Amino acid sequence: MPMMRLTAAVAIVLASPGAALAADAPAGAASCRGCHAANPRVETPVPPLNGRPAADIASEMIAFKAGQRPGTIMDRIAKGFSDDEIRAIAAWYETQK
Amino acid sequence: MMTRKSRRTFLKGAGALALFPRPALAQGAGPKVVVIGGGFAGASAARFVKKANPAIAVTLVETNPTFTACPFSNGVIAGLRPLRAQQFNYEKVAEAGVTLAIQAATGVDAQAKSVTLSGGTSLPYDRLVMAPGIDLRWDGLPGYDERAADIMPHAWKAGEQTLLLRSQLESMEDGGTVVISAPANPFRCPPGPYERASLIAYYLKTRKPKSKLILLDAKDAFSKQRLFQNAWAALYPDHLEWVSLSKGGKVNAVDAATKTLKTDFNDYKADVANVIPPQRAAAIAQTAGVADRSGWCPVDPVSFESKLVPNIHVIGDAAIMGAMPKSAFSANAQAKVCADAIAKLLGGGTPAEPRLINTCYSLVAPDYGITVAGVYKPADGVLADIQGAGGVSPIEAPQETRALEAQFADGWFKTITAEVFG
């Protein structure tokens, strides 16, 4: 019953009033939005990441890292992340709106 | 797993239920976070704590209802953009659910966990975020005090000082000498003095070509040094001279009445003098006991909680962040990590080990951008560079690359200010 479910959910909130409610972003993901705008109305030549297929983001980052894709700055930043870290960040951005 | 939207809808329902006598859900019963300072660090932290958990009551304490951004303010000094392009308000921060207290924070009682405001009220907190930025050390350079700054502006806090330096440059006759004094490390915005020298040299070259800029430096090395120096040699050979520490560039004293900057070897008489003095964390950090003898605030590299006072987190320019420079990008990145850590800690959890990125754009000319980037992780109690990552723009690059970085710089400013204030 909907009412019972809501009550159960409220009980969870009561039990842990400080629990993070948004899905945890993987390490490093929050920094990306310093340049890749979360707000689609921002006028910038830097492409947004929100909602992009994870496979695309990951393959581009891994290519930047390997020096196979020319970039002004992403080649330097990509080298700070393992392929697994890149895939985790990419998967998270795919789910972002 | 619920999506974010359905979670938000759910929370509205929970909020409505708060009308019933359920104590833990009543107004004000959630955890309290107070943030001191509404710059790139503090305003971001306030928003992202609220975003991480809307049940947390977040209050942002900031003296000024209008924020004036330092990044790109060198462009204002050089007449390339208006000051209003640097200015933002807190409307969207408030709309995001953050309570604003437009007052000064005058005291912090770490035992009672409360912040005293200039209006006399006090705000209790479970976690306090201090992002107060810098103070200029008026005792740091003989002859340079607040009154001297009216004659020899620092323009290292954007606003009136920015406009003062700009108007002095505009009033200067062609053939004049501009002198900048750059401090020793650490200070806000490591590439800032060099970008400023570049853009003022651009102004002189294009508007007052018989004039010259001398940059007196208390250092022998600085951020993006080869990139700046190569660009200066190409663009401003007659307009910009850098005097390093070992060449006698350290300014030991100034005389505001005669606009003179004194080094071990010379007195430099300026027509326009820009003195960037030594700095430290803003006074409230000393008051709260979170600054150490260096004047800056040591923090844990995972949660940015003070190493000196529990339940207080320090982010942005006031903090000692190891390899991470004092930049707006860093401040915003730290704020987001800190916000997630606080939400975790208040929920009884443990913050995950973070990764942080910094990117600093500098303009050498309006169509000539250069960058330094870094990726950081906690190591040995501080944030350390991840080896092999980061670094500066290529030393040799075609003009198209420099022009592209100048465009990205513009995009970055719009993005970061929208992220924080939009």
Helix (H, G, I), strand (E, B) or coil at B307: coil
Q: How far apart are the C-alpha atoms of B94 and B59, rounded to whole Å?
A: 9
How far from B238 is each of A59, B166, B214, B273, CA to CA, in Å?
47, 21, 11, 19
Does the beta carbon of A11 lie under 8 angstroms from any beta carbon of chain B?
Answer: no
pTM for this one? Answer: 0.91
Handedness of CA B373, B375, B378, B384 (dihedral sign): negative
Tens-place pLDDT, residues B107-120: 999 999 999 999 99
A 10 A CB-CB count for B307 gives: 15
Q: How far apart are CA B419 and CA B411, in angstroms?
A: 12
Angstrom distance (rounded) from CA B238 to CA B247: 19
- Whether the link from the prior residue into B71 is cis, omega within 30° of 0, is no
Taking the Cβ of residue B19 and every Cβ of chain A, the question of whether any pair is shorter than 8 Å is answered with no
- The Cα–Cα gap between B273 and B176 comes to 11
Contacts of B10 in chain A (CB under 8 A): 9
- Secondary structure of residue B247 in the 3-state scheme: helix
Distance CA A27, CA A20 (A): 15
> Least CA distance to B416: which residue of chain A?
A34
CA distance B304 to chain A (A): 15
How buried is B220 (Cβ within 10 angstroms: 0-12 exposed, 13-18 middle, 19+ buried)?
exposed
Alpha-helix runs per DSSP H in B254-348:
283-288, 328-346
- A36/B357 Cβ within 8 A: no
Distance of CA B213 to CAs A21, A80, B362, Å?
Answer: 54, 38, 18
The region, left, alpha or beta by phi > 0 then psi within -120 to 50, assigned to residue B97 is: left
Using CB atoms, which residue from A6, A35, A38 is nearest to B359? A35
Interface predicted TM-score (ipTM): 0.89
- Looking at the DSSP bridge assignments, the partners of residue B378 are B383
Tokens of B39: 């710059």
pLDDT tens across B165-189, in order?
A: 999 999 999 999 999 999 999 999 9
Give the tens place of pLDDT for each residue, A1-30.
344 444 444 444 444 443 444 568 999 999
pLDDT band at B25 (very low <50, low <70, confident <90, very high): very low
Q: Is B388 exposed, middle or buried (0-12, 13-18, 19+ CB in 10 A)?
A: exposed
- pLDDT tens across B235-273, in order? 999 999 999 999 999 999 999 999 999 999 999 999 999
| Cα–Cα distance list, B339 to A97, B43, B160, B241, B331 (Å) | 20, 11, 32, 43, 12
Cβ separation B415–A37 shorter than 8 A: yes
Q: Does the distance separating the beta carbons of A17 and B30 come in below 8 Å?
A: yes
Across the interface, whether the CB atoms of A44 and B415 are under 8 A apart is answered: yes
Q: Which residue has the tokens 């900057």?
A: B261
Q: Mean pLDDT, to the nearest integer, of B52-81?
A: 98
Encode pLDDT of B334-362 as tens digits: 999 999 999 999 999 999 999 999 999 99
Interface contact flag, A38 B56, Cβ < 8 Å:
no
Q: Give the Cα separation of B247 and A39 in Å (integer).
A: 48
Q: Is B18 on the interface with A (CB under 8 A)?
A: no
**Partner A, chain B 37-56, Cβ-Cβ below 8 Å:** 48, 51-56
For the stretch A76-79, contacts whose Cβ atoms lie closer than 8 Å and that sit 24 or more positions apart, written own/partner, are: A76/B373, A76/B389, A76/B390, A76/B391, A77/B357, A77/B359, A77/B373, A77/B375, A77/B389, A77/B390, A78/B389, A79/B375, A79/B386, A79/B388, A79/B389, A79/B390
Cα B262 to its chain centre, rounded Å, is: 28
Looking at B18-81, list the stretches that DSSP marks H as alpha helix, in order from N- to C-terminal side: 40-52, 73-77
